[in-house]
Structure 1
Amino acid sequence: MPSPNDSPESDRDHPRESSAERASESDADRPRDSDGERPSEPKNEPAADDPRMNDEYVRRLPDEGVTVVGVVHDHPASVHRARAVVRERDPAVVALEAPPLAVPLYETYARESRTPPTFGGEMSAAAQAAGETDAEVVGIDAPTAGFFARLVRNCRSAGASLGTLRRVASGVASVTRHALTCRVAAAVADRTSLRVEVDDPVDHDCDRTDPPAVQARDEVSQARRSQSLLRAFDPPRPVRLRDETREECMAERLSALRERGETVAIVGLDHLDSVAEQVEAD
């Protein structure tokens, strides 16, 4: 989720890259069962009263055939909710807040036998559930040709200064490089047995071995803290221009996907209301 700082991109938009060796070390540090493997979560359907299935973080738009799931990136409660809603809805399409170029990497992560997958957080968990239901997985986030065109229009309409334009361009260049890195990592994984972790996972105060109630409480606490910060600090204009354009493009893409059938979208909590409202208004 974007932080209210002065940088042109959030940590999620411009993650640090990891080598294959670093990925292996990271995996080695995670909890393992008695056989030396990381334990998988049960594959049965979640109980109706599971606190991680927080309706506050889900927008159901039955008239549009779209369900939008809000997440705290890499949080175990969000990972669970993303996977569970995809299984529950059995959609034709699962749309990720990820660039189309990055989707093959999440699909690669999703092919492992562990549930949820080791890497990729809620995005690979949703992709794994999509594979179980034969749903198509698509990326709806920037960079895309449509995003670049709309961003230019929005910058012109806003009368953005040269300094703002430079910082917008810097942020867009960063996320474009990251998307290309994801695509290369997916190609490497397809051709070798090498598994590359591109994104360093976000650290949280709980993990998926904690009880559901503990996960849910921690997620709510983090979400409220983030929302309080966003209310207290206006994001820099370049960040605001870019994120508003991203949300417009994601909503437009979701509206177009309705022709293919029911769609479940996975987006960061800070984008949830804006994207859902724009889809509903379309």
Structure 2
Amino acid sequence: MDPLPAIDVESDPRVTGEYVRRMPGSPPHPDAGALTLVGVVHDHPASTYRVRQVVDGLDPEMLALELPPISIPLFEQYATVDRSPPVFGGEMSAAIQAATSTEVVGIDRPTGGFFRRLGRLLLRERPSASTVRNVVSNAIKTTTHAVACRIAAAIGARTSVRLEVDSPMSHDVDRTDAPDDQARHEREQVRRSRSFMNAFRTASRTRASRLEDEAREEEMAARLRELREDGTTVAVVGIDHLEPLAERLDH
């Protein structure tokens, strides 16, 4: 992986290689098809700053977001405001706002490719009935949420109303705090989140989440390989997906 071009990663602790992975294109033109993965914590000011700096600095031809494809119109509406970063949509609408001349695509579930991969995993691993129920429950929730985003986008396209589908997550730090404080809080938030999941998830829910994440990451990696054929790409994904995606794409 190459260091980031056109961005001084040493100048700001929020924009470091810790949560950024750069994959060059194929020789003899390493910039053609180059892919940059940016890991984020949802609604965190350090993550929002990071995606804006990376997208603005690289000016990619493609912006891939860990969002369902049918949700993209809503986040594009959130991004069409004068305020920077936008009020709604967190780091995803902030990335769109920074990508002024870039094609924006969603690469997360629910999609046909995701459900096919998930079905094959379930058939291969044959998990317990409780795990399957958790997988199905998660699929219903994410599909329902994606549809709600699409409906909100349709309403917004016909009226001046901007519907907020998700309430923003609150953090004990905001964009007015010092960059060092934001970066430190973000790292601590990642650590706490992983510790909480490990401590309080049941075995069934943990396995359901693992199966779903494996199908998601397989599908997102496949979509990113396709997008790289069309030009330079920046992909914004949850921090927990950053390393698994980087490994799949490296291979």
Q: TM-score, normalised by structure 1?
A: 0.79
The partner residue of 2:40 within 62, 71, 90 is 71
Contact 1:69/1:266, CA 8 A, preserved across alignment: yes
Please say if 1:112 is aligned against 2:81: yes
The offset of 1:229, in angstroms, is 4.1
Counterpart position of 1:271: 241
**Alpha-carbon distance between aligned partners in 2 of 1:175 and 1:239, rounded to the nearest angstrom:** 13
Contact 1:103/1:138, CA 8 A, preserved across alignment: yes
**Alpha-carbon distance between aligned partners in 2 of 1:47 and 1:175, rounded to the nearest angstrom:** 35
The offset of 1:165, in angstroms, is 1.8
CA 1:185–1:204 in structure 2 vs 1: closer, same or farther (change >3 Å)?
A: same
Gaps of 5+ in 2: 1-6, 26-32
Q: How big is each residue's C-alpha offset from its partner over 1:9-59, in whole Å with a ceiling of 9 and x where there is no partner?
A: xxxxxxxxxxxxxxxxxxxxxxxxxxxxxxxxxxxx888511111210001
The offset of 1:228, in angstroms, is 3.8
- Runs of 4+, deviation exceeding 3 Å: 45-48, 227-235
Please say if 1:259 is aligned against 2:239: no
Contact 2:62/2:104, CA 8 A, preserved across alignment: yes
The partner residue of 2:12 within 38, 44, 50 is 50
Please say if 1:176 is aligned against 2:176: no
Aligned length: 235
Contact 1:46/1:84, CA 8 A, preserved across alignment: no
The offset of 1:246, in angstroms, is 0.7
Contact 2:10/2:16, CA 8 A, preserved across alignment: no
**Alpha-carbon distance between aligned partners in 1 of 2:195 and 2:133, rounded to the nearest angstrom:** 29
Q: TM-score, normalised by structure 2?
A: 0.89
The 3-state SS of whatever aligns with 2:229 is helix
Contact 2:107/2:220, CA 8 A, preserved across alignment: yes
Q: Partner amino acid for 2:233?
A: T
The offset of 1:259, in angstroms, is 1.0
Q: How big is each residue's C-alpha offset from its partner over 1:70-97, in whole Å with a ceiling of 9 and x where there is no partner?
A: 0111000000101110111111100000
Counterpart position of 2:30: none
**Alpha-carbon distance between aligned partners in 2 of 1:148 and 1:182, rounded to the nearest angstrom:** 20
The offset of 1:245, in angstroms, is 0.8
**Alpha-carbon distance between aligned partners in 1 of 2:146 and 2:67, rounded to the nearest angstrom:** 8
Contact 1:257/1:263, CA 8 A, preserved across alignment: yes
The offset of 1:217, in angstroms, is 1.4
**Alpha-carbon distance between aligned partners in 1 of 2:123 and 2:174, rounded to the nearest angstrom:** 44
After superposing the two structures, state which structure 1 stretch, 201-210 or 223-232, moved more.
223-232
Counterpart position of 1:84: 53
**Alpha-carbon distance between aligned partners in 1 of 2:92 and 2:224, rounded to the nearest angstrom:** 16
Contact 2:62/2:105, CA 8 A, preserved across alignment: yes
Q: Partner amino acid for 2:140?
A: A
The offset of 1:215, in angstroms, is 1.1
Counterpart position of 2:154: 187
Counterpart position of 1:163: 130
Q: How big is each residue's C-alpha offset from its partner over 1:101-160, in whole Å with a ceiling of 9 and x where there is no partner?
A: 111111000001111100111000001111x2x110000000000001111001111112
Q: Partner amino acid for 2:16?
A: N
Counterpart position of 2:29: none
Counterpart position of 2:94: 125
The 3-state SS of whatever aligns with 1:260 is coil
Please say if 1:196 is aligned against 2:163: yes
Counterpart position of 1:100: 69
Counterpart position of 1:139: 106
The partner residue of 1:62 within 24, 49, 55 is 24
Counterpart position of 1:18: none
Gaps of 5+ in 1: 1-44
**Alpha-carbon distance between aligned partners in 1 of 2:198 and 2:182, rounded to the nearest angstrom:** 24
Counterpart position of 1:8: none
CA 1:163–1:227 in structure 2 vs 1: closer, same or farther (change >3 Å)?
A: closer
